[in-house]
Copies of this chain bind each other. A is one copy, B any other.
């Protein structure tokens, strides 16, 4: 009795016919906002839709309404726990609002980021969220700004996650302050001879953390000699290699700060592979508090960012759903996300 596999999805038209009502009525019963349709009709339409296995064609709906239900998320690397945690937050928040999120990866490449933004505009997303690694000094930066401004001029909303992004909404991460606090805490634990495995100089987040950390040390009268700052890739392998370089230099240090946790994980492995037990003799600290750092040995001292929240905030900021999540008082605004220093086994008191 079942009809042979038809070759295309049921349309609203089909539903209307099946229910014996007009297209308009069908539309109104299924998706219309202002409910002004006879319950009896509505019933029949819904049943007909059910029977035909009808699902609204979101694209067609978008075209007709002139607005979509899409959120575009750009990340450097979705396999990096930092970004995947943020993505989880964005996706969860989005699905609560009936929005669908499309993810694109830019691989920390400014050119590619720009191209991606352009391509994504074709989707006419309601919101575009750019997570991570604003670079600085790139010729693309201005072009990106222009592209995004134009996107906003045509009704889109953009939200950045990271440092203040000029005219755009931003979920502010206080990289400077968090790193400063961390440095202060570590100095308090007795560390004095510090090295930093920093990121590529053009990654702003990395630089801010470096600066904040330096400042925190300075407050305790500790200086960070330039040769103790090693620039490396913003990845686990970057941390690993940076550490090898550090060790090769023969510098004698009692603490290594990597500007993010994935790098710090690399640091720990590199130390261990060099026969040094991290946490005894040399302390190690990171930044972000990605899930894994609890599970490496020793557990890593770091600065906690509530990653999932950050993602969720970014979405809400952009959609205007920015309810004040219980965080007492003061308006949402570009208030920085609170950061917390977490001391763990990788930096015992000296």
Give A contacts to B, CB under 8 Å.
5-9, 53, 55-60, 62-63, 66, 68, 70, 77-79, 81, 84-85, 87-88, 91-92, 95, 100-105, 118-124, 150, 153-155, 236, 265-266, 268-269, 272, 291-292, 294-297, 308
Q: A7 — which chain B residues lie within 8 A by C-beta?
A: 153-155
Q: A102-B100, A291-B236, A292-B295 are in contact. Are A59 and B124 (CB under 8 A)?
A: yes
Q: A100-B123, A101-B103, A104-B91 are in contact. Are A63 and B55 (CB under 8 A)?
A: no
Taking CB as reference atom, which chain B residue is nearest A71? B102
Contact (Cβ within 8 A) A269 B294: yes
Please measure, in the bound complex, the distance between the C-alpha atom of A296 and the C-alpha atom of B119, giving whole angstroms: 39
Please measure, in the bound complex, the distance between the C-alpha atom of A53 and the C-alpha atom of B297, giving whole angstroms: 52
Contact (Cβ within 8 A) A105 B84: no
Q: A77 — which chain B residues lie within 8 A by C-beta?
A: 88
Please measure, in the bound complex, the distance between the C-alpha atom of A41 and the C-alpha atom of B263, giving whole angstroms: 52
Partner of A57, one of B79, B84, B122, B266: B122
Contact (Cβ within 8 A) A84 B78: yes
One complex includes copies of this chain to the number of 2
Q: Nearest Cβ distance between residue A225 and chain B, in whole angstroms?
A: 29
Contact (Cβ within 8 A) A87 B79: yes
Partner of A118, one of B55, B124, B153: B55
Q: A154 — which chain B residues lie within 8 A by C-beta?
A: 6-9
Contact (Cβ within 8 A) A78 B87: yes
Q: A103 — which chain B residues lie within 8 A by C-beta?
A: 87, 91, 101-103
Taking CB as reference atom, which chain B residue is nearest A61? B122
Partner of A59, one of B6, B63, B78, B291: B63
Contact (Cβ within 8 A) A122 B291: no
Q: A88 — which chain B residues lie within 8 A by C-beta?
A: 77-79, 105
9 contacts between A and B (CB under 8 A): A7-B153, A7-B154, A55-B121, A58-B124, A79-B81, A81-B84, A84-B84, A102-B103, A265-B292
Looking at A6, A103, A121, A308, the one whose CB has the most chain B CB atoms below 10 A away is A103
Please measure, in the bound complex, the distance between the C-alpha atom of A105 and the C-alpha atom of B91, giving whole angstroms: 8
Q: A104 — which chain B residues lie within 8 A by C-beta?
A: 91, 95, 100
Q: Nearest Cβ distance between residue A152 and chain B, in whole angstroms?
A: 8
Please measure, in the bound complex, the distance between the C-alpha atom of A9 and the C-alpha atom of B153, giving whole angstroms: 8
Please measure, in the bound complex, the distance between the C-alpha atom of A292 and the C-alpha atom of B84, giving whole angstroms: 14
Partner of A296, one of B59, B100, B295, B308: B295
Partner of A6, one of B53, B66, B95, B153: B153
Contact (Cβ within 8 A) B57 A63: yes
Contact (Cβ within 8 A) A101 B102: yes
Sample of 18 more A-B contacts, CB < 8 Å, known A100-B123, A101-B102, A102-B103: A7-B153, A7-B154, A8-B154, A58-B122, A59-B62, A59-B124, A63-B63, A77-B88, A78-B88, A79-B84, A81-B84, A87-B103, A91-B103, A100-B104, A100-B120, A101-B103, A268-B295, A292-B292
Please measure, in the bound complex, the distance between the C-alpha atom of A84 and the C-alpha atom of B100, giving whole angstroms: 18
